[in-house]
């Protein structure tokens, strides 16, 4: 199977958007690469008393519209190009939903599944000691990502505040509520995605109460399973997958019971009533809505022609390759691209920074209402670009995001 370089894919997406926007070459060159990249070598004391060396990164892709914003991953196969790609997508994502932020991303090459809680805390704090001078509420605001969580952010925030001797919780988002986190953050990514599905179904006449499937049953996938039924008034969840298993039931699963089982056992494997299927087969099921919520490059030119979903809502970052975008467009499948579909998380993270800044917090209902307004407006801005420029959905979203970032760069006199 062909291997894909996520950063080369983002650069290709940028070039396509730049062509539609008729951008000059200097602007394209500026937006094709991160503005700042940091590489760190971290010595961390392990439980056995030995020192282990970890390699870590923080990339600030573009800050024309505001401080960099983006998650921190702990992953055994982390690469600098993956982080560059994710930082680029964050740049376009914050612009698509019109937040006063840029894009960034961080990562540590490690296997968190083989580390104790104490070792993860030591690693988290060591990382902050390395990057502290490069982050801040007016520079770069990290958040959790793959294999990091609110507890990770609490450790990192505490280390940062210890180093700076200041209380400034807004430097990290998706923290526990007890230390400055916001209501409504836990399900924000999935909620934003389901809101865009609602708007797509209204716009194109699809029926969200029919069958749907979810690839990737982590936080976003689990929340989508529940919110699809809550927000869209029904739906039959016929298939889900995680790293260990993919299961199918044509009559549908009880979403609440499935989430409870996953949280209890760590996998959907052997869930009662679930027939084991191949991971790739899940993507090709005949469903009204498909949620890719795992990792990059799940939908490629090899399998795009076999996909039968009517709507694809990308809760993962970069699950579809550029060649697959064209195939899906030709098949008449409506794709809601990641930089729009998964923007609920960064939107509510922005709300968290705002609330932290003046120490006054909104109710969950207020957060949900403001998120709905932001994502609804963003969905229709992208639809306007799709219709106006006669382009496929990802290119439409890229056109909106890239145009806003390019305009900020030009107003600043950078290009």
Token reading at 22: 């008729």
Do residues 187 and 356 lie in contact, with contact meaning Cβ atoms separated by under 8 Å?
no
DSSP run (H or E) holding 15: helix 6-21
CATH number for the segment(s) 18-179: 3.40.50.10860
Confidence of residue 3 (pLDDT cuts 50, 70, 90): low
Which is catalytic among the residues 36, 45, 69, 105?
A: 105
- Phi/psi at 319 (nearest 5 deg)? -75, -10
Per-residue pLDDT, 146:
86
- Tokens 């509510």 correspond to 348
In 255-363, which residue ranges form alpha helices assigned H by DSSP? Answer: 255-265, 279-283, 322-330, 338-341, 344-358
Token reading at 107: 């990562």
Domain pair 18-179 / 188-341, same fold: yes
What phi-psi label fits residue 359: left (phi over 0), alpha (psi between -120 and 50 degrees) or beta?
A: left
CA angle 371/190/2 to nearest 5° reads: 130
C-alpha separations of 140 from 62, 164, 317 in Å: 10, 15, 20
Q: Where are the domains of the chain?
A: 18-179, 188-341
Q: Provide the whole-model pTM.
A: 0.93
Q: What is the mean pLDDT of residues 365-381?
A: 98
Do residues 181 and 355 lie in contact, with contact meaning Cβ atoms separated by under 8 Å?
no
- Phi/psi at 143 (nearest 5 deg)? -155, 175
One DSSP character per residue, 114-183 reads GS-HHHHHHHHHHHHHHHGGG-BTTTEEEEE-TT--HHHHHHHHHHHHHHHTS--GGGS-S--GGGT--T
Q: What is the mean pLDDT of residues 141-170?
A: 96
Per-residue pLDDT, 2:
55
Quote the CA–CA distance of 393 and 16 in Å, as a whole number. 12
Per-residue pLDDT, 6:
86
CATH number for the segment(s) 188-341: 3.40.50.720
Per-residue pLDDT, 5:
87
Active site residue 105: yes
pLDDT digits (tens, 9 = 90+) for 211-269: 999 999 988 999 999 999 999 998 999 999 998 999 999 999 999 999 999 999 999 99
Q: What is the mean pLDDT of residues 157-163?
A: 98
Sign of CA dihedral 160, 163, 169, 171: negative
Is residue 1 predicted with pLDDT exceeding 60? no
Do residues 331 and 305 lie in contact, with contact meaning Cβ atoms separated by under 8 Å?
yes
Quote the CA–CA distance of 71 and 93 in Å, as a whole number. 13
Confidence of residue 52 (pLDDT cuts 50, 70, 90): very high
Q: Pick from 130, 164, 162, 145: which is nearest to 58 by CA?
A: 130
Q: Which residues pair with 71 in a beta bridge?
A: 143
Q: Which residues pair with 39 in a beta bridge?
A: 57
Token reading at 289: 């809505």
DSSP annotation of 274 reads P
Q: Taking each helix axis as running N to C, give the angle between helix 393-411 and helix 6-21, from 0 to 180 degrees, rounded to the nearest 10.
A: 80
């Amino acid at each position: 199977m062909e291997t894909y370089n996520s950063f080369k894919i983002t650069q290709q997406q940028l070039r396509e958007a730049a062509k539609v926007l008729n951008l000059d070459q200097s602007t394209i060159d500026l937006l094709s690469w991160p503005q700042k990249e940091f590489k760190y070598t971290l010595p961390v004391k392990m439980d056995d008393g030995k020192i282990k060396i970890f390699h870590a990164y923080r990339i600030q892709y573009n800050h024309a519209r505001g401080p960099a914003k983006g998650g921190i991953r702990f992953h055994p196969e982390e690469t600098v190009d993956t982080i560059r790609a994710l930082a680029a997508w964050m740049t376009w994502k914050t612009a698509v939903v019109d937040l006063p932020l840029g894009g960034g991303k961080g990562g540590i090459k490690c296997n968190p599944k083989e580390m104790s809680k104490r070792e993860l805390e030591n690693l988290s704090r060591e990382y902050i000691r390395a990057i502290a001078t490069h982050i801040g509420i007016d520079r770069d605001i990290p958040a959790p990502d793959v294999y990091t969580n609110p507890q990770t952010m609490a450790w990192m925030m505490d280390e940062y505040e210890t180093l700076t001797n200041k209380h400034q919780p807004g430097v990290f988002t998706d923290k526990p509520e007890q230390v400055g986190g916001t209501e409504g953050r836990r399900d924000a990514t999935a909620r934003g995605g389901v809101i865009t599905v609602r708007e797509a179904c209204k716009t194109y006449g699809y029926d969200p109460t029919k069958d749907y499937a979810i690839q990737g049953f982590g936080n976003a996938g689990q929340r989508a399973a529940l919110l699809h039924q809550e927000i869209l008034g029904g739906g039959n969840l016929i298939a889900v997958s995680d790293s260990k298993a993919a299961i199918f039931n044509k009559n549908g699963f009880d979403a609440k019971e499935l989430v409870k089982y996953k949280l209890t056992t760590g996998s959907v494997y052997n869930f009662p009533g679930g027939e084991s299927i191949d991971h790739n087969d899940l993507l090709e099921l005949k469903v009204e809505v498909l949620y890719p919520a795992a990792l990059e490059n799940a939908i490629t030119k090899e399998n795009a022609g076999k996909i039968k979903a009517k709507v694809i809502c990308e809760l993962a970052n970069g699950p579809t390759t550029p060649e697959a975008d064209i195939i899906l467009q030709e098949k008449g499948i409506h794709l809601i691209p990641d930089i729009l579909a998964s923007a609920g998380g960064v939107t509510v993270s922005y709300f968290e920074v705002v609330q932290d800044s003046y120490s006054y917090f909104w109710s969950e209902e207020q957060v949900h209402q403001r998120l709905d307004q932001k994502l609804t407006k963003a969905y229709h801005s992208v639809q306007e670009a799709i219709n106006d420029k006669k382009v496929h959905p990802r290119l439409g979203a890229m056109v909106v995001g890239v145009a806003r970032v390019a305009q900020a760069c030009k107003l600043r006199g950078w290009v």
